[in-house]
Structure formats: structure tokens, C-alpha cells
Copies of this chain bind each other. A is one copy, B any other.
Amino acid sequence: MPKRYPPEQLFDFTVAVFRHFEVPTEDARLAATVLQSADLRGIDSHGVARLASYADFLGRGRINPRPNISVVRESPSTATVDGDNGLGLVVGPKANEIAMDKAASAGSGWVSVRNTNHYGIAGWYVLEALKRDLIGWSMTNTTKFVAPLWGARRMLGTNPIAIAFPADREPPIVIDMATSAVAYGKIEIALRAEKPIPEGWAIDARGEPTTDPAAMIEGGAMLPLGSDRERGGHKGYALAVMVDVLSAVLSGANWGPFAPPFALRQEIPTRSVGKGIGHFFGALRIDAFIDKDEFKRQIDDLIRTLRTTRPAPGTSGPLIPGDPERAAEAIRRREGIPLVGPVIEELHDISRQTGIPL
């Protein structure tokens, strides 16, 4: 059974851990905010469960705690940012700010980022855009996990895409999705529960479809959204390539199978083709296209229209993208963030190592 922790307690611990590793206070608070948004929104794999990896990398000097984040090229509506190998949780928010500022002046802003690291959940960045009434976009490439359709090897990351649209009286539409058929966390959960995984999630080391989570984890690969040729696996693969190019090729980061890993146990790629991993942020100013209030009223109408769709048998009808995360956040802000045993143990390890009480 998971044990629940007050969000504030985990936040303060996270800030203190980042500070212990020489991250400046303001950056530590920013990084903890991004990290905690994953725990609050129910994306457990991207929250405090990753703190040990961040601490490992900071402790070994593989992440720069005090980066000099710089704009290396820009135009009125675009910029390329070099994150100086800082925490993605700090580089990402600062690059996203640049995209939003460009949108304010030029109608849209697009920022490709190199020399950065794992940036948390893609969704956090587009929620920031919503605070400014912008349409926000966020993508990142990640360590290889996914096979291209018809490939037998991991070549691409789970490369998520997030985009959000503000509404008026309804909650916003918030899309945040990996371009793989499923999140890696679900395969790990099946392994621990000793249960098979559905067809369409993974292949084994020979490239054959598998329902054995261990066969994926031990040298197999995840499948792209769509899973196989018949059901559109070439489309999920194409989306992963798109994210890879916008985030990494356009910025000068490591793309495809050469994206560096974010766990000490993962192998270091054989080649370096750029700096760090890459992100891509975008922002569109709504009133550069249409009256903002009119847009929001139409989004309300679209949301209500979709909610009235006749439900498929055995379901309560379509959700709006963002509904599940919003529901998780309402519960977790009230009842605390549930952590499973192995994560709690990791936090205690960090506590012992740093002397910071949990």
C-alpha cells in the first residue's frame, strides 16, 4: 500500500536536496515546482520518484547545478537556447519563458533547446502558457526506448508532446502524451505485479511482439503509438521523429539513439552527435488570430459538445484531455501524494546521503 505525504513536505525536501547539490535557491524552488507538478497530476514516474536520478547526476558532476543558460541564435519569433548542461527542470522553464515573451511581441514564439537534461512532465510548460492566456506547446526527446515501426531495436525516446488551449468557464484542454503506445512506467508496474502486458505495447530482443514485460525490459523495445502497421504504428513512429528533430536536430542536441540516458544504470550511447538532450517550446498569442474571448467561448462550446457524445457501451463517455490529471490533482492536494515503498526507500537513502531530514 502506498503511503501519502503532504505535498509541502516533499516540496521542501526536494528544494533542500537540490540546494545541497549547489543549485541556487531560486532554481531549486523552480525545479521542485516542476517535479512536484508530476506528483500532483498523477504522473508518478516523473515526480519525486526521479529525485534519486537528479541527485545521482548532480552528485557525480554530470549535471551543472549553476548553468549559464544562453540564447545562441534568435529571430523575432524564434530562439535557440544552450542550457549549459543544467537541470532540465531549470533550463526548460527559462526557455519556455523566452517562447512566451516572443509570442507577446511577435504573435508566436518557438524555442529549441540543446545541452539540457530531463525536464519533468511536458504538461507543466503548457500550463504556464495558460497562465498568460497563450496556447502553449512543449516537446522533448528522451533516452531511447522505442523501436521505429519494423525495427527490432530501441532507436527513439518516448518523445512526448504537450499542448494546451484555454477555455472560459470550462477547465482548459491540456494534452500531454508520449508518442509511444504506452508509458514505460506501465511496463514496470506489470513486471512488479507479474502480469502480462497487452499486445501492441512491446517487442522482445528479437523484435517479435511480446506480452512479457521482462522481455521488453531486457533488451526489447517499446512500440510507437498505433503499435503495428495495420493500426498506424508508422504514425506514432513519425510523431516521435518529429519531436526528435524539433527538439534535438534543430537545437544541436543528441538525437535518436544518441540521446544520453537519465539513469546511472543505462548505457552511455556510442556516439555523441550534439550536446545533451533537446526540448522544443512554442507559444501562440490567441488575439494574434482571433478575439480572445470569442476563442474561449468556442472552446467551452467544443468541450461541452464533446462531453455530450453518446457514451460507448460500458463507458461513461469521452473525457476531455486533461480531465484525469485534474482529477488526480484535486485528490492529491487534499489527501497527499501517495508514494510506494521503493520510492520512499530511495528518499530515505537521499536523506541519509545528504543529511537532510525527510
Instruction: List residues of A whose CB falls within 8 A of some B CB.
Output: 73-80, 105-108, 110, 112, 135, 147-153, 155, 163, 165, 173, 175, 177-182, 198, 200-201, 203, 206-208, 225-227, 230-232, 234-239, 241-242, 244-246, 249-252, 255-257, 273-274, 284-286, 288-290, 294-295, 298-299, 301-302, 305-306, 309-313, 315-319, 321
For A318, list chain B residues within 8 Å (CB): 148-151, 155, 237
Asked if A309 contacts B151 (CB within 8 A), the reply is yes
Asked if A230 contacts B198 (CB within 8 A), the reply is yes
Shortest C-beta distance, A262 to chain B (Å), equals: 21
Q: A73-B288, A106-B106, A107-B110 known; A295 and B249 CB under 8 Å?
A: yes
Supply 29 A–B pairs (Cβ within 8 Å), ascending by A: A73-B288, A75-B106, A80-B289, A80-B290, A106-B106, A107-B110, A112-B290, A148-B306, A150-B311, A150-B315, A151-B312, A151-B317, A155-B306, A173-B241, A175-B242, A182-B230, A198-B230, A200-B231, A208-B312, A225-B226, A225-B231, A225-B236, A227-B231, A232-B236, A237-B321, A241-B306, A251-B289, A273-B301, A274-B298
For A200, list chain B residues within 8 Å (CB): 230-231
Shortest C-beta distance, A210 to chain B (Å), equals: 12
Closest partner residue, chain B, to A320 (CB atom): B241
Asked if B273 contacts A309 (CB within 8 A), the reply is no
Asked if A257 contacts B305 (CB within 8 A), the reply is yes
Checking B110, B234, B301, B310 against A151 with a beta-carbon cut-off of 8 angstroms, the contacting residue is B310
For A181, list chain B residues within 8 Å (CB): 226, 231-232
Checking B153, B235, B274, B286 against A225 with a beta-carbon cut-off of 8 angstroms, the contacting residue is B235
Shortest C-beta distance, A149 to chain B (Å), equals: 6
Asked if B78 contacts A284 (CB within 8 A), the reply is yes
Taken together as a complex, chains A and B put the C-alpha atoms of A182 and B149 apart, in Å, by 16
Asked if A77 contacts B76 (CB within 8 A), the reply is yes
Q: A150-B315, A252-B290, A289-B250 known; A107 and B80 CB under 8 Å?
A: no
Asked if B313 contacts A77 (CB within 8 A), the reply is no
The 3 closest A-B pairs by CB, nearest first: A75-B107, A151-B309, A148-B318
Asked if A298 contacts B273 (CB within 8 A), the reply is yes
Shortest C-beta distance, A316 to chain B (Å), equals: 7
Q: A78-B284, A177-B232 are known contacts; what are 20 more A-B pairs with Cβ within 8 Å?
A: A77-B107, A78-B288, A107-B110, A112-B290, A150-B315, A150-B317, A151-B309, A151-B310, A151-B317, A152-B310, A155-B318, A173-B241, A175-B241, A225-B225, A226-B231, A227-B231, A232-B236, A237-B318, A241-B302, A250-B289
Taken together as a complex, chains A and B put the C-alpha atoms of A312 and B148 apart, in Å, by 10
